[in-house]
Amino acid sequence: QVQLVESGGAVVQPERSLRLSCVGSGFSFRSYAMHWGRQAPGKGLEWIAFISYDGREKYYSDSVKGRFTISRENSANTLFLQMNSLRPEDTAIYYCARDDVYSLNYWGPGTLVTVSS
């Protein structure tokens, strides 16, 4: 069965960096585009980044463009999110999700990032 598991969440100070990982299993990881989304405490879902199956196309939300970078290592079935210049408003649960027909079909359980001094 399709499984996605995020890791790397932590408590980090403002302006610092953090890298999240997401390992996929149960499917051909290299054949699917992937997304990162997030959910601040008590708030709604926010889409933040997309990467095509081969890594050639990347798109970002305005809220993270220029600070966050999505990437993937297909040989390791792993998706990454490099987060720089973190702000308190980036505090959220971060989810990775598999793309299927322009939707986010399978989601991981999420990893919590807290930005606080």
Partner 1 sequence: QSALTQPASVSGSPGQSITISCTGTKSDVGAYNYVSWYQQHPGKAPKLLIYELTNRPSGVPDRFSGSKSGNTASLTISGLQAEDEADYYCCSFTTANTRVFGGGTKLAVL
Asked whether position 13 contacts partner 1 by CB under 8 A, the answer is no
Q: According to CB under 8 A, which residues from 32 to 91 bind partner 1?
A: 35, 37, 44-47, 50, 57, 59-63
- How many CA atoms within 13 Å lie on the side-chain side of 12? 22
- Say how many Å lie between the first and final Cα of the chain, rounded: 40
Q: Is 1 in the site for partner 1 (CB under 8 A)?
A: no
Pick the closer one to partner 1 by CB: 52 or 75.
52
Residue 57 Cβ vs partner 1, minimum distance, rounded to whole Å = 8
**3-state SS assignment for residue 109:** coil
